[in-house]
Amino acid sequence: MKIAIVTIFPRMFTGIFDFGIIRVSRERGIVDLEIIDIRDFTHDRHRTVDDRPYGGGEGMVLKPEPIFEAVEAVEQRWDQRAWRILLTPQGVPFCQQDAQRLATEKAVVVVCGRYEGVDQRVVDYLADEEISLGDFVVSGGEIPAMLLVDAVVRLLPGATGNPASVINESFSRGLLDYPHYTRPASFRGWPAPEVLMSGNHAEIENWRRQQARRRTGRNRPDLVTSDE
């Protein structure tokens, strides 16, 4: 899979993808990840990427020309059309199903919004979809891009040592994950559930289903359906 992140702050990504599953995936050739500086596609001495909004108002707006040129240059070099994502608070909320869907793409370009946003023509004529990481506003799309890439890359075939680890987890089956315990069996007088040490796999599976439903009902009742 190929992923390009288009940003005006490329140095924010220095070292962030050099750890864990993303590092291993890059080393194995599972993902080809690159950071594109929008300023490299400006044509004035000041490398201008933003301007005041038409009609007045607060802040600055990212100009369309360098964004279009950056994305088109990446696709030309890749020799393929990528799925284009704009990260913006006005986007559709991102979820695990979106990560699963994006993990099937061969090439993805992620455009990081900034300031008051991007020129609407980027939305109308460049982006395939607008994504938000939640109902809150941050300074730009860079940190959301890191989260999105991590969520997607860990789902790629070969990215994790045990493929089941990305199946039996929160959201993958409509519920939050069940509680986990490890040694010691008793810690400060708080014991691990005996069923987990019983060796009875049917009872363990039943306990985990019950705990997953209980945790989901407590923390995310919006995920609970009538048949759960």
pLDDT tens, 169-187?
Answer: 566 667 899 999 999 999 9
The pTM assigned to this predicted structure is: 0.88
Residue 33 CB partners (closer than 8 Å, separation 6+) = 3, 4, 5, 17, 22, 26, 149, 153
Predicted confidence at residue 218, as pLDDT, reads 96
- 168-223 is a CATH 1.20.1050.10 domain: no
- Give buried/exposed letters for 172-184 (b at 16+ CB in 10 A, else e): eeebbbbeeeeee
> Which tens digit of pLDDT belongs to each residue from 86-96?
999 999 999 99
The tokens of 91 are what?
């986007």
CATH 1.10.1270.20 placement within the chain = 168-223
Using 70 as the pLDDT threshold, list the residues of the chain that sit under it: 163-173, 226-228
Amino acid at 126: L
Among the four given CATH numbers 3.90.1150.10, 3.40.1280.10, 3.30.67.10, 3.40.50.920, the one describing domain 2-153: 3.40.1280.10
Which SS3 state, helix, strand or coil, does residue 4 take?
A: strand
Provide the β-strand partners of residue 114.
Answer: 140
CATH 3.40.1280.10 placement within the chain = 2-153
Contact of 85 with 92, CB cutoff 8 Å: no
Predicted confidence at residue 201, as pLDDT, reads 97
Amino acid at 165: S
Predicted confidence at residue 226, as pLDDT, reads 52
Q: What is the CA radius of gyration of the chain?
A: 22
